[in-house]
């Protein structure tokens, strides 16, 4: 069984001979998961064995696990900075972390994270990341975010104010890029072990809610849920739906949608949240109403009485709500095939404009594969053509919007 070395602030740090850390680093830069290496020179260092990390026998150094090897590799990189007479430099530190990551093998354990975790004992690595991101010649922001995210499991504590500032400075450079979401996922994984930080983060973020820190709001409440405080997180989000701040309200609706499998278990809470989502679906702010529809669609997977609410908004003049319904059908078709409102949902989707029907096409294609919905699919395609008819472009629109369905129907001569 592997020995997990979770953090760096260990008495083992000072005991590890530099020769062992050097050999660990050599193995790391060979980009493999080997935990053994030959000691070519006579073994003159001690200790020759640390039970949790390594042992030497017959001129062979054997680490107890890949985690132990990574720990020693990180110590080697850390000592290069510790022994240097130069002041600690944020950019150089993240350059070192980047090199460690580049040579990482496919493994859940992270050498660059361990290194930055150790460096966090010497300087504020979050502030260092902010410094690098905001500098004129700053490196790729995603490299910094990845390094910080990888370091979180090896950090005992952090200043949530620094996390909020980091979110703000990175947002300018990562807005709209899904890769930034990886960092927030890592933060959500970190917070359950530190629920007090999740609460503190929630309080500070909601006091000054903005587009830049919306993901922090979700991470904080998700962290509370994973820490076993789902009811607390839901009640906080419910309270926030009374806010006059649109960003806070939208964030609360988003997290309520994500937590539907929790609040549906308690009848009183289920009724309250359902009524909130229904009411917010009529909000004048387009982003808030969209978040409400998405939350309803998440909940409707297991609370199928909410399908009627989705249909209520899925009107010809509401393409956003139609797209939410289309995605809901596509993502959950396996359980919706026998739903009494399946035909109603599909006919509603015939109001989707050309170019917005990709999920609808995929759903129709999957229904054709079952062999029992051919007529319903044919009727839907006919309805879409009639609603979007243009003598010059209808054929072209149909073939481009429903390529999957038409290719499946080509094998159904009775329906052509």
Kindly state whether residue 28 falls inside one of the protein's structural domains: no
Pair (377, 416) in one structural domain: yes
Kindly state whether residue 357 falls inside one of the protein's structural domains: yes
Pair (309, 332) in one structural domain: no
Instruction: Name the DSSP letter for residue 352.
Output: P
- Taking CA atoms, 108 is separated from 4, 33, 113, 131, 177, in Å, by 11, 12, 11, 28, 24
Pair (338, 263) in one structural domain: no
Name the 3-class secondary structure at 51.
coil
| End residue of a domain, out of 313, 333, 353 | 313
Kindly state whether residue 364 falls inside one of the protein's structural domains: yes
CA dihedral sign, ordered 306, 311, 313, 314: positive
Kindly state whether residue 52 falls inside one of the protein's structural domains: no
* Residues 6 or more apart in contact with residue 195 via CB below 8 angstroms: 223, 224, 227, 229
| End residue of a domain, out of 313, 346, 366 | 313
Rg, the chain, Cα only? 28
Kindly state whether residue 32 falls inside one of the protein's structural domains: no
Write the CATH number for 277: 1.25.10
Give me the tens of pLDDT residue by residue for the chain, a chain 416 residues long. Answer: 334 445 443 556 778 889 999 999 999 999 988 999 988 776 677 788 888 899 988 888 999 999 999 999 999 999 998 887 777 788 999 999 999 999 988 777 899 999 999 998 888 999 999 999 998 875 688 999 999 999 999 887 789 999 999 999 998 888 767 777 889 999 999 999 999 999 999 999 999 999 889 999 999 999 999 999 999 999 999 999 999 999 999 999 999 999 999 999 999 999 999 999 999 999 999 999 999 999 999 999 999 999 999 999 999 999 999 999 999 999 999 999 989 999 999 999 999 998 899 999 999 999 999 888 989 999 999 999 888 877 555 566 778 888 899 888 887 765 54
Pair (331, 413) in one structural domain: yes
Pair (328, 289) in one structural domain: no
Pair (289, 368) in one structural domain: no
Pair (323, 400) in one structural domain: yes
Kindly state whether residue 358 falls inside one of the protein's structural domains: yes
* Residues 6 or more apart in contact with residue 375 via CB below 8 angstroms: 415
> Which ranges of 103-243 would DSSP assign to H, the alpha helix?
111-119, 125-134, 141-151, 160-174, 181-190, 195-207, 214-226, 230-240
Pair (307, 328) in one structural domain: no
Pair (347, 398) in one structural domain: yes
Pair (336, 408) in one structural domain: yes
Pair (263, 302) in one structural domain: yes
Q: Is the peptide bond before 47 cis (omega within 30 degrees of 0)?
A: yes
For the chain, the domain total comes to 2
- Contact between 207 and 216 under an 8 Å Cβ cutoff? The reply is no
Pair (394, 323) in one structural domain: yes
| End residue of a domain, out of 274, 297, 313 | 313
Kindly state whether residue 277 falls inside one of the protein's structural domains: yes
* Residues 6 or more apart in contact with residue 10 via CB below 8 angstroms: none
Letter string b/e over residues 118-134, b meaning 16 or more CB atoms within 10 A of that residue's CB: bbbeeeebbebbbbbbe
Kindly state whether residue 146 falls inside one of the protein's structural domains: no
The pLDDT of residue 202 is 97
The pLDDT of residue 4 is 43
The boundaries of the domain holding residue 376 are 317-416
Q: Residue 31: which region, alpha, beta or left (left: phi > 0; alpha: psi -120 to 50)?
A: left
């Amino acid at each position: 069984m592997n020995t997990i070395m979770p953090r760096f602030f260990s008495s083992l740090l000072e005991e590890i001979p530099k020769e062992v850390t050097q050999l660990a680093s050599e193995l790391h830069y060979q980009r493999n998961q080997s935990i053994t290496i030959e000691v070519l020179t006579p073994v003159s260092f001690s200790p020759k064995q640390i039970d949790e990390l390594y042992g030497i026998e017959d001129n062979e150094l054997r680490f107890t696990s890949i985690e132990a090897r990574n720990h020693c590799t990180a110590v080697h990189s850390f000592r290069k900075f510790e022994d240097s007479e130069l002041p600690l430099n944020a950019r150089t530190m993240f350059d070192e972390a980047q090199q460690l990551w580049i040579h990482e093998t496919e493994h859940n354990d992270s050498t660059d994270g361990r290194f930055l975790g150790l460096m966090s004992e010497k300087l504020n690595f979050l502030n260092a990341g902010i410094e690098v991101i905001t500098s004129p010649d700053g490196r790729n922001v995603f490299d910094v975010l990845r390094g910080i995210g990888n370091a979180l499991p090896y950090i005992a504590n952090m200043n949530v104010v620094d996390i909020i500032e980091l979110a703000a400075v990175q947002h300018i450079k990562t807005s709209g890029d899904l890769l930034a979401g990886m960092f927030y996922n890592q933060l959500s994984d970190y917070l359950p072990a530190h629920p007090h930080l999740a609460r503190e983060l929630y309080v500070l973020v909601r006091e000054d809610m903005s587009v830049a820190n919306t993901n922090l709001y979700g991470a904080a409440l998700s962290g509370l849920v994973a820490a076993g405080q789902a009811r607390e997180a839901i009640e906080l989000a419910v309270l926030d739906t009374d806010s006059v701040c649109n960003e806070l309200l939208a964030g609360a609706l988003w997290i309520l949608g994500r937590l539907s499998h929790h609040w549906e278990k308690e009848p009183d809470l289920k009724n309250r949240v359902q009524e909130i989502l229904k009411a917010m679906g009529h909000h004048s702010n387009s982003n808030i109403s969209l978040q409400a529809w998405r939350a309803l669609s998440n909940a409707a997977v297991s609370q199928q009485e909410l399908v009627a609410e989705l249909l209520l908004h899925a009107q010809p003049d509401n393409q956003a709500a139609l797209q939410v319904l289309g995605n809901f059908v596509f993502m959950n078709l396996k359980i919706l095939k026998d739903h009494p409102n399946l035909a109603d949902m599909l006919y509603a989707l015939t109001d989707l404009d050309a170019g917005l029907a990709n999920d609808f096409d995929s759903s129709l294609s999957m229904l054709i594969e079952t062999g029992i919905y051919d007529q319903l699919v044919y009727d839907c395609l006919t309805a879409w053509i009639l609603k979007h008819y243009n003598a010059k472009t209808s054929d072209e629109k149909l073939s481009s919007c429903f390529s999957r369905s038409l290719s499946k129907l080509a094998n159904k001569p009775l329906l052509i």
